[in-house]
Amino acid sequence: MLAQGTYDADYIADSRGQVEADIAAFDNARADADSDDHALDDLELSYFAALVLALEMRFVHRKRGREGTDGNALNEVRLLARSLMTNGGRLLEDPAITLDPARSVLGLRPGDDIVVRYEDFVRLSRAFFDELEARYLD
């Protein structure tokens, strides 16, 4: 597939809707769970790590020149996904991306364990879609 310089508004909206549905599914599971049941605590980390990967894969062919290297949410998700897949869940350093922990969504530094909880993913996905629309909306 060729790199994409823009995305159709419907595709972005549909993707955002699916991500919100995935978040809602976790909300529903949490509401249905017994308050003493800690099974969701164990599931939460792997569930939202998988959603980071799914989020990246929906837009993996975006043109990097348009994405920039300023440490925005698109850069952060790209780096998180690559780190989850190739570095045992520890954040990689990428000399091409200026990821400032003080300005990033999750505040991680290279070498930190990637721990994405419910609230983290909600913030990350919203920032990702906002940045995507600003840079790639057709």
What secondary structure does DSSP assign to 3-22, as a single string?
A: -BS-B-HHHHHHHHHHHHHH
pLDDT at 48 over 90: yes
Residue 37 has pLDDT above 80, yes or no: no
Query: Residue 1 pLDDT more than 90?
Result: no
Question: How crowded is the C-beta side of 10, counted as CA atoms within 13 Å?
Answer: 0
What pLDDT sits at residue 102?
97
User: Residue type at 20?
Assistant: E
pLDDT in tens, 94-103: 999 999 999 9
For residue 34, what pLDDT band results from cuts at 50, 70 and 90? confident
pTM of the predicted model, to two decimals? Answer: 0.92
CB within 8 Å of 125: residues ≥ 6 apart: 16, 19, 23, 51, 55
Under 8 Å between Cβ of 2 and 62? no
Query: Phi/psi zone of residue 42: left (φ > 0), alpha (ψ -120 to 50 degrees), beta?
Result: alpha
104 burial via Cβ count (<10 Å: 0-12, 13-18, 19+): buried
Of 63, 60, 52, 55, the residue nearest 136 (C-alpha): 63
SS3 33: coil
